[in-house]
Amino acid sequence: MQKIYFVRAEWDDEAQVWVATSDDVPGLVTEADTLESLSVKLEALIPELLDLNGFLNVEEVPFELLARKFSVTQRNLH
């Protein structure tokens, strides 16, 4: 069975970007304004980084992107 690479994305409220990191892909740290653009970046970066680190010898590289964003909202009390 082919390994699925796990990538975490967390919203950086101060920088207003999604930041992606991974324990499975050495050296992976990237950011983007939207999850869609982050996913596109990851499609290129993950195979490249795995290849540079000597981990890749297949054409397809499955990855799972898990996004997390913490928010606080206010109740309307009228």
40/37 Cα distance (integer angstroms): 5
Q: How confident is the model at residue 40 (pLDDT cuts 50, 70, 90)?
A: very high
Query: What is the sign, positive or negative, of the torsion defined by CA atoms of 37, 43, 48, 51?
Result: positive
Q: How confident is the model at residue 60 (pLDDT cuts 50, 70, 90)?
A: confident
Q: Give the chain's radius of gyration (CA, Å).
A: 16
Q: How confident is the model at residue 9 (pLDDT cuts 50, 70, 90)?
A: very high
pTM to 2 decimal places = 0.84
Helices and strands (DSSP H and E) totals, the chain: 1, 4
Q: How confident is the model at residue 45 (pLDDT cuts 50, 70, 90)?
A: very high
Query: What is the sign, positive or negative, of the torsion defined by CA atoms of 11, 12, 16, 17?
Result: negative
Dig out the tokens for 56 from the structure.
Answer: 């890749």
What is the set of domains in the chain, with CATH numbers?
Answer: 5-68 (3.30.2390.10)
Q: In this structure, how many other beta carbons lie within 10 angstroms of the beta carbon of residue 32?
A: 17
Q: Is the pLDDT of residue 33 over 90?
A: yes
